[in-house]
Amino acid sequence: MVKVRLLFISSLLLLFAISLIVRLADLQIVQHESLLAKSEKQSQGTLKTHFGRGTIFDRNGNELATNLEVESVFVVPQEVRDRKYTSRVLASVLNRNYDRVYKEVSSKKQFTWIKRKVPADEIMHLKKSTLSGVHFRSEQKRFYPKRELAANVIGFVGTDDLGLAGIEHTFQEKLKGVVYSQSIEQDGKGRKIQALSNLSRSSLGNYDLMLTLDEVIQFTAEHHLKKQVDKYKADSGMAVVMDPYSGEIYAMANVPQFNPNNFNAFPEETWKNNAVVSSYEPGSIFKPIVAAAAIDTGIARPDEEFFCENGSFKVGKNKIGEAENHKFGFLTMKEIIAKSSNIGVIKIAQKLGKNSFYEYIQKFGFGEKSGVRLPGVSSGLLRKRGGWTDYSLASISFGHEIAVTPLQMVAALSAIANGGTLMEPHITKALMRDGKIVKQIKPKKIRRVISKKTSQQMMEILKFVVKNGTGKNAAVEGFDVAGKTGTAQKFITRTQSYSKTEFVSSFIGYAPADAPRLVILVMIDNPKGVHWGSVVAAPVFREIAKKSLRYLNVPSSEERVFILDRA
């Protein structure tokens, strides 16, 4: 009898379990879509709010990008009592199109944003109006307290705090902060049954970022670059300041500038960071690469003489002359670089040979991306050596038929300045959280390019350029400067020829020459009137170097002698 009862009870439990499984299968599989649709009808939607995007600092902890507390306006259409009146007020206060606002207020959407991140005076006016169905949500708006300063490097974010350019884009995953999501629910009659609660500020999960930029050096570079671009009515200008030993970038300036707080008010062309995304034929600032390769291979000495053909030299069917119609006879390599002789540097390149020249160009980092953590980095243009002609060897020797980015050029000269090692340029110094460094970005050596002895010999040659050659306008009182001028004719794609009226004027150098702290490149695109790099670009180098060396407390030559004497 007991066995019968147990069997009966077990059968009932089994039937119950089977019916439960069937019911769950019916709900979760058979009726899944219809039940989901019913569930969604009870929800007015999801509000997403962004909080706590990481702060961006310069190397000394000065804020370059931070956040401001603001409010956004949205409407729950089912709650609006007078759609026309509400639309008129919203359109007037928020400076929006009435028809568009009315369409949003009258929509069947569960909720709709009217305007995000609204100025405080507009919010105050709307709150006084006490419009039914109009709600406010606290959010954070990205704010750039230094306005145009380093804008092309830092970039900007969109309405949803998504990094759209620069560092903001590259480090989006580290800087993005927290996104809060919250649903508004309603009953079957469309009445709201869950109130919106305020969201607290949080920075959980995101990082702050410290850059290698120094806001003082950045401002100095931008200020003097802009003055010269304006003076010569140039199309644009760039300046890069880097530590040759660590690869840390102290400044990366672009002109024209834009304000990232209101980036849409500026042409998209101004958003580009031309120091890394654009490439140019460098002109004569490329000549030190030829000289360094020739000395390093041992095929030529700084005091070796080359006949410069009295100003006219034929390579194949092409006739090559000197700038300003100079007519040079015999010049040493040192004098060739100082006087910027095209024919002289061709003679050096011909002695070096196509294969060795190509290998050194690659070793100096041309034709490959620099490795800096910024969006859109260009590798420039270096044709394979198999595509070179005899004229290509000549043309590339004085900076034509090759395209380089300004940052590639700075990295290459840094290798000459620092004793022969190519360093990877970098713009980020550390990741931080709660004011503490959690990851330090260390300098990275790429490869040895030239010997220390070659580096020393090149330093003497480039000092001679500034003291006795085309670079006199780059001289800084109290410091030895090593550098090179450049004036490159622009290649016009439309005509497939070099312009006789458009040039890129440049100067690249380092100081102090015998113990370099800074490598500085200045490039000014299409100056009007005067176009020589010695006149247009060299003075900008001088001002940036003079003020930056003093700011960094780098002792002058006299001060160093005094310190040594006291020791």
What is the torsion angle, in degrees rounded to the nearest 10, for the CA atoms of residue 230, residue 232, residue 236 and residue 242?
Answer: -90
Backbone phi and psi for residue 479, each to the nearest 5 degrees, phi listed first: -135, 145
The DSSP string of 261-296 is GGGGGS-GGGG--HHHH--B--GGGGHHHHHHHHHH
Q: What is the Cβ-side half-sphere exposure of residue 28, based on CA atoms within 13 angstroms?
A: 6
Reply yes or no on whether 312 is catalytic: no
Contact 138, 180 (CB under 8 A): no
Token pair of 493, please? 């794609």
Catalytic residue, from 72, 236, 284, 392: name it.
284
The C-alpha R_g of the chain, in whole angstroms, comes to: 33
Residues making up the chain, counted from first to last: 567
∠ Cα 493 497 503 (to 5°): 85
62 DSSP 8-state letter: -
**CA distances for 466 relative to 257, 332, 338, 510, 513, angstroms:** 30, 16, 8, 11, 11
Write the secondary structure of 315-337 as one string of H (helix), E (strand) and C (coil).
ECCEEEECHHHCCCCEEEHHHHH
- What stretches of 79-171 adopt beta strand conformation (E)? 112-118, 134-143
Cα 377 from Cα 272, distance rounded (Å): 11
- The β-bridge partners of 70 are 139
Q: Which residues are catalytic?
A: 284
